[in-house]
């Protein structure tokens, strides 16, 4: 219990003067320590506060009666209703009651905990009480706003919910956030635009950053595009601005050709093992053109999405970063032809991968996406050479692409193009062929509509005689400046045809001798379902995005995937870049389809989370983790067996009074509070702090009580 | 069809995860979507903490139906969703032994903006309670082997 003292009175005076309440962290910590030491054996004194929310609650729920009813419950010392509990004066009420009436548990019934739980925890803290001796009860979204037609029942419901809150509060214990030392060093996995932006922002806050990029070059997918919406800039110019800054920042270390092979640890201290593939070619090698000429190996060039071939010694494009060439170890036969050209000793075909360790405080996962790869025969893909994907078209339009920017396919010029949207996106079960995991891609890939219309714009600018037929389900040009591409396409005479997912367009090879090699048939819903046949020279499939397959990484980092296979954040709105694993955050298209702009701000948001975590070299974790009751634990080991987190819980051998026994021990930094251990313990010896089974039992029991407030009134 | 007054007599407990069902309920609230006032929503961090006997105890003591609203395969805690489902299927076994209607306990994936699915779950639970009525208490006691309360 906290008695009002001189110091508190002084604070009172200050707080009455409309100034914001400031509590020093040290003061807060002292209060927490004291509270934990004092806990046990104290009288429980509960303060109950029912918020009227300016009528939002009290227009339906009789908050005065709820407060009056709650007064009757054991341990409730004070029970009030108030117009706005979240206001300064509302918070002041709580603080005053803590100090003057000695209340040591607080229950507030108000809006959703997502809005004001933190506000009230802070108010409780500033009253000198442990912030976790607080229970929040939602009686607005969960009651008054949904029971406006039943005020009596809504009032009784509020009483029940508040009573359950009081039942929980009786069993609350003071908690202390876990504090751990943090390495002021972050790891960014993936050197695409999202990873680069994240790294740059973290480094600017004077923290060390290591970028690990699986391929031998930086930039990710953006390096493969020609002109990017919504600014019509050269993609590489945009990318290079970021890469130059990254290269110039002394806080950033880059490892290309590198992947994680092991990860252990927790926020503040992740121990990471990396494996780097050798480049095989030194940066100053002067005979690259010649070496490429003499290399006898030819494989499809992944940079051009298989539209051209490359050699086993290669670099994706002039101006790539790093600028040197590399050996493709998978395909190199080590014939030694390349060793005969250029500066001696520049190529080493005997180089082997090297492994090394780093320790970091936080990890940003920015592993990006792969374009959807249509199945063989899907819209004729892989069977009709004139059917390509949008990424392939991007390469064709690029000055350094397989046709050097000429719009041609198989050496033939192109005059009529059909572009089909939603290939590999917004798929329907039963209509589309599922992926190997049995699921279809039912999500929208968001970027492809504008990317398709942007490509159409480029084509019209450079090849004005081309006719474009755009086959879409819905046009989703949602971002700032995106709609202009749609307007532009309409003005430029693009013919729009609308299909539905259940009646996908049919693409067939035209009979021999026809002028146009491909025929596209579509039931067009802009002309009331009229069957339209479009003879074309090229079909472009606007393929969607799928996350880069990173199963090994997911296994190592224990992050979750959504149903759509993209990595999953804790909460889509409120914690959009954090994963459930403290210290691991997400950036860019590894999390879902995004434009460059969105991937950039996702990278910067991830960075701000990392900075907040590591900047002081000390991390404070929410205390909602597993806790063992040593009296009850008999060392059954069930918790260890079922725990999905690595190193979160273990059995240790103890000796007490000459007796040797095993007991579970939690490593709070590794525990994410998932609760699996709680339900499997045969002795009820483990709980998630702040969310115990006893508390839930008590809450459920509270619901059994008969309540009839209005008859009493 | 029972009146709202009668409905209030039977209680539906919703155990709603903070990353799923609770936000679904919040969204329903923000949209002022009316539903029957016999629904008691408790927020939970994850539903994986509940052993099967927790559900039995709750049904024995106070509530007539329980809906666990979690985020299903979109659960941010790896392994927790599968574990919750496993605990609930064990609870079904225990309900069967006690002759309790297993439909009184449901596991449902509710996303943060799943207003309609949320309302549908509530409506269905109420329809069920209209049909089978509240639980007649006392319910046969939990056997020694199943009880873990120390
Ligand atoms: C056809 C097409 C055209 C587009 N045009 C535009 C446009 O005009 N404007 C626009 O705003 N957006 C456009 N986009 C979207 C744009 O490409 C993305 O927004 C952007 O590439 C996302 O960047 P990222 O860093 O998230 O992912 P990526 O670009 O995919 O980069 C991810 C990086 O991570 C690396 N990586 C993967 N796995 C690992 C691992 N295990 N370890 C280490 N590294 C790994 C990859 O090698 C890659 O370098 C287009 C997309 C498509 C498909």
Query: What gap in Å lies between CA A197 and CA A201, rounded to an integer?
Result: 6
Using alpha carbons, select from A712, A710, A711 the residue that is nearest to residue A62: A710
- Find, among A157, A21, A266, A35, the residue nearest to A705 by Cα: A157
Residues from chain A that touch B4, judged by Cβ atoms under 8 A, are 150, 153
Strand partners, B47: none
Nearest to B78 among A558, A624, A688 (CB): A558
Contact (CB<8Å) B40/A160: yes
Tell me which residues of chain A have a pLDDT lower than 70.
1-41, 708-713
Interior angle at CA A421, CA A415 and CA A424, nearest 5:
125
Torsion angle (degrees, nearest 10) of CA B69, B72, B74, B79:
120
Q: Which two tokens stand for residue A160?
A: 């029940």
For β-strands A258-266 and A269-276, DSSP reports them as: antiparallel
Pocket flag, ligand 1, residue A482 (CB < 6 Å):
no
The pLDDT tens digits of the residues spanning A541-564 come to: 999 999 999 999 998 998 888 889
Are A308 and A301 within 8 A, CB to CB? yes
- Using the Cα atoms of residue A572, residue A576, residue A580 and residue A585 in order, give the sign of their dihedral: positive
A596 lines ligand 1 (CB under 6 A): yes
Q: How many CB atoms lie under 10 A from the CB of residue A502?
A: 9
CB atoms within 10 A of CB A26: 8
- pLDDT beyond 70 at B36: yes
Output the CA A191–ligand 1 centroid distance in Å: 9
Return the percent helix, strand and coil in chain A, to nearest 5.
30, 25, 45
* Residue with CA closest to ligand 1 atom 1: A391
Cβ <8 Å between A114 and B112: no
- Bigger pLDDT: A9 vs B139: B139
In chain B, whose CA is at the least distance from the CA of A144?
B29
Tokens of A42: 């104290």
Chain B, residues 71-90, CB within 8 A of chain A, namely: 72-80, 83, 87
Q: Is A603 in the pocket of ligand 1 (CB under 6 A)?
A: no
Q: At A49, give phi and psi (nearest 5°).
A: -130, 125
The whole-angstrom separation of Cα A495 and Cα A518 is 17
Could you say which residues from 621 to 640 on chain A have a Cβ atom under 8 Å away from some Cβ of chain B? 624, 632
Average pLDDT, chain A: 92
User: Mind listing the pLDDT tens digit for each residue in A386-445?
Assistant: 999 999 999 999 999 999 999 999 888 999 999 999 999 999 999 999 999 999 999 999
How far is ligand 1, taken at its centre, from the CA of residue A391, in Å? 12
Residues of B in contact with A704 (CB under 8 A): 61-62
Burial of B144 per CB tally in 10 Å (0-12, 13-18, 19+): exposed
Of the residues A676, A684, A686, A690, the best mutation for testing chain B's interface (the one with the most B CB atoms within 10 Å of its CB) is: A676
Q: Distance from the CA of A477 to the center of ligand 1, in angstroms? A: 19
- A522 - beta bridge partners? A532
A145 touches chain B (CB under 8 A): yes
Q: Which of A190, A216, A227 to mutate to test the pocket of ligand 1 (most atoms within 8 A of CB)?
A: A190
A633-638, Cβ contacts within 8 angstroms, sequence gap of 24 or more: A633/A663, A633/A664, A633/A681, A633/A683, A633/A685, A633/A686, A634/A661, A634/A682, A634/A683, A634/A685, A635/A661, A635/A662, A635/A663, A635/A664, A636/A681, A636/A682, A636/A683, A637/A662, A637/A664, A638/A677, A638/A680, A638/A681, A638/A682
Query: Which pLDDT belongs to residue B144?
Result: 44
Closest by Cβ to B13, choosing from A624, A678, A700: A700
Q: Which two tokens stand for residue A669?
A: 């930094």
What tens digit of pLDDT does each residue of B102-124 get?
999 999 998 777 889 999 999 99
By alpha-carbon position, which residue is closest to atom 5 of ligand 1?
A451
Residues of B in contact with A577 (CB under 8 A): none
- Rounded to whole angstroms, the Cα distance separating A168 from A172 reads 6
Please tell me if the CB atom of residue A477 comes closer than 6 angstroms to any atom of ligand 1: no
Which residues of A, range 456-495, sit inside 8 Å of B by Cβ? Answer: none
* pLDDT at position A180: 83
Strands A538-543 and A416-423: parallel
B127 touches chain A (CB under 8 A): no
> Does the distance separating the beta carbons of A141 and B29 come in below 8 Å?
yes
At A707 the pLDDT is: 74
SS3 A692: coil
Ligand 1 center from residue A329 Cα (angstroms): 24
Q: Is the dihedral of CA A546, A549, A550, A552 positive or negative?
A: positive
Give the per-residue pLDDT at A34: 52
Buried b (16+ CB within 10 A) or exposed e, A39-60: eeeeebbbbbbbbbbeebbbeb
Residue of B nearest to A163 (CA): B40
Three-state secondary structure string covering A376-425? CCHHHCCCCCCEEEHHHHHHHHCCCCCCCCCCEECCEECCEEEEEEEECC
Convert A96-112 to b/e letters by CB count within 10 Å (16 or more is b).
bbbbeebbbbbbbbbbb
| Cross-chain residue pair B63–A146, CB shorter than 8 Å | no
Domains of chain A with CATH codes: 6-175 (3.40.50), 185-277+353-368+548-619 (3.50.50.60), 288-340 (no CATH), 370-546 (3.50.50.60), 626-689 (3.30.70.20)
CB B85 within 8 A of CB B107: yes
Integer Cα distance of B2 and A37 in angstroms: 53
Q: What is the H or E stretch that residue A289 is in? A: helix A288-294
The CATH architecture one would assign to domain B4-149 is 3-Layer(aba) Sandwich (3.40)
- CA–CA separation, A263 and A179 (whole Å): 21
3-class secondary structure, A535: strand
Nearest CA in chain B to A150: B37
Answer yes or no: are the C-beta atoms of A402 and A308 closer than 8 Å. Answer: yes
Q: How far apart are CA B118 and CA B146, in angstroms?
A: 32
Contacts of A149 in chain B (CB under 8 A): 34
- Out of A200, A218, A222, A239, mutate this one to test ligand 1's pocket (max ligand atoms within 8 Å of CB): namely A222
Contacts of A693 in chain B (CB under 8 A): 49-51, 54
Q: Using an 8 Å Cβ cutoff, are A591 and A567 in contact?
A: yes
DSSP code for A143: I
In the numeric block, the tokens 């199943």 are attached to B146
Which neighbouring-strand residues pair with A432? A429
pLDDT reported for residue A93: 97
- Substitution target in A700, A702, A705, A710 with the highest count of B β-carbons within 10 Å is A700
Q: Which of residues 26-65 of B touch A (CB under 8 A)?
A: 26, 28-30, 32-35, 37-52, 54, 57-58, 61-63
């Amino acid at each position: 219990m906290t008695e009002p003292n001189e110091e508190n009175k002084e604070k009172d005076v200050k707080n009455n003067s409309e100034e914001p309440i400031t509590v020093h962290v040290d003061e807060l910590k002292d209060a927490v320590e004291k509270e934990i030491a004092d806990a046990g054996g104290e009288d429980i004194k509960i303060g109950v506060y029912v918020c009227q929310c300016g009528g939002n609650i009290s227009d339906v729920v009789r908050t005065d009666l709820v407060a009056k009813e709650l007064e009757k419950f054991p341990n409730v010392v004070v029970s009030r209703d108030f117009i706005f509990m979240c206001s300064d004066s509302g918070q002041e009420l709580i603080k005053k009651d803590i100090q003057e009436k000695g209340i040591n548990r607080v229950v507030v019934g108000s809006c959703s905990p997502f809005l004001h739980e933190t506000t009230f925890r802070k108010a409780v803290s500033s009253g000198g009480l442990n912030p976790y001796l607080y229970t929040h009860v939602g009686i607005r979204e969960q009651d008054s706003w949904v029971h406006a037609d039943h005020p009596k029942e809504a009032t009784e419901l509020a009483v029940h919910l508040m009573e359950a809150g009081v039942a929980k509060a009786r069993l609350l214990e003071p908690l202390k956030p876990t504090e751990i030392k943090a390495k002021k060093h972050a790891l960014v996995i993936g050197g695409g635009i999202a990873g680069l932006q994240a790294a740059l922002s973290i480094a600017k806050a004077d923290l060390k950053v290591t970028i690990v990029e699986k391929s031998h070059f930086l930039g990710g997918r953006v390096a493969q595009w020609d002109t990017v919406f919504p600014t019509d800039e050269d993609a590489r110019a945009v990318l290079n601005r970021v890469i130059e800054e990254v290269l110039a920042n002394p806080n950033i270390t880059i490892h290309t050709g590198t992947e994680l092979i092991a990860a252990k640890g927790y926020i503040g201290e992740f121990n990471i093992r990396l494996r780097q593939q050798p480049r095989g070619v030194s940066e100053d090698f002067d005979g690259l053109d010649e070496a490429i000429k003499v290399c006898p190996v030819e494989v499809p060039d992944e940079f051009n999405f298989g539209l051209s071939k490359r050699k086993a010694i290669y670099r994706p494009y002039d101006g790539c970063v790093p600028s040197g060439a590399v050996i493709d170890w998978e395909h190199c036969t080590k014939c030694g032809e390349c060793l005969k050209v250029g500066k001696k000793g520049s190529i080493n075909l005997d180089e082997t991968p090297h492994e090394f360790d780093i320790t970091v405080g936080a990890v940003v996962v920015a592993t990006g996406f792969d374009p959807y790869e249509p199945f063989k025969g899907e819209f004729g893909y892989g069977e009709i050479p004139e059917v390509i994907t949008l990424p392939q078209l991007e390469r064709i339009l690029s000055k350094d692409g397989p046709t050097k920017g000429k719009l041609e396919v198989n050496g033939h010029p192109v005059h009529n193009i059909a572009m089909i949207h939603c290939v590999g996106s917004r798929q329907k079960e039963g209509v589309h062929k599922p992926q190997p995991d049995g699921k279809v891609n039912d999500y929208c890939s968001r970027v492809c509509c504008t990317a398709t219309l942007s490509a159409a714009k480029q084509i019209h600018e450079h090849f004005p005689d081309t006719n474009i037929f755009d086959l879409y389900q819905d046009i989703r040009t949602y971002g700032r400046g995106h709609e202009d591409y749609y307007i532009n396409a309409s003005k430029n005479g693009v013919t729009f045809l609308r299909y539905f997912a259940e009646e996908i367009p049919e693409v067939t090879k035209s009979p021999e001798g026809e002028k146009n090699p491909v025929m596209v048939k579509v039931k067009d819903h802009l002309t009331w379902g009229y069957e339209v046949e479009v003879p074309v020279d090229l079909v472009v499939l606007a393929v969607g995005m799928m996350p880069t397959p990173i199963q090994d990484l997911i296994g190592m980092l224990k992050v979750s995937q959504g149903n759509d296979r993209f990595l999953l954040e804790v909460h889509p709105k409120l914690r959009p870049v954090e994963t459930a694993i403290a210290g691991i955050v997400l950036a860019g298209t590894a999390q879902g389809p995004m434009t460059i702009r969105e991937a950039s701000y996702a990278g910067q948001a991830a960075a701000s989370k990392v900075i907040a975590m590591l900047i002081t070299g000390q991390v404070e974790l929410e205390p909602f983790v597993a806790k063992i009751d040593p009296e009850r634990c008999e060392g059954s080991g069930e918790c260890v067996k079922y725990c999905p987190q690595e190193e979160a819980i273990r059995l240790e051998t103890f000796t007490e009074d000459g007796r040797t026994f095993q007991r579970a021990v939690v490593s709070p930094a590794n525990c994410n509070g998932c609760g699996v251990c709680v339900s499997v313990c045969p002795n009820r010896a483990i709980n998630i702090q702040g969310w115990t089974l006893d508390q839930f039992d008590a809450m459920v029991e509270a619901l059994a009580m008969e309540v009839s407030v209005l008859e009493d009134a | 069809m029972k009146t709202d007054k009668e409905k209030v007599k039977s209680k539906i407990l919703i155990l709603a995860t903070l990353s799923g069902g609770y936000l679904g309920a919040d969204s329903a609230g923000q949209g002022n979507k009316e539903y029957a006032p016999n629904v008691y929503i408790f927020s939970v961090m994850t539903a994986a903490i509940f052993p099967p006997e927790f559900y039995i105890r709750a049904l024995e003591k106070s509530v007539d139906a329980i809906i666990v609203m979690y985020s299903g395969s979109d659960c941010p805690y790896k392994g927790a969703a599968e574990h919750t489902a496993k605990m609930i299927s064990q609870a079904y076994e225990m309900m069967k032994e006690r002759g309790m209607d297993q439909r009184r306990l449901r596991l449902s994936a509710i996303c943060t903006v799943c207003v309609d699915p949320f309302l549908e779950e509530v409506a269905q639970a109420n329809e069920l309670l209209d049909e089978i009525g509240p639980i007649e208490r006392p319910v046969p006691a939990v056997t020694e082997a199943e009880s873990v309360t120390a």
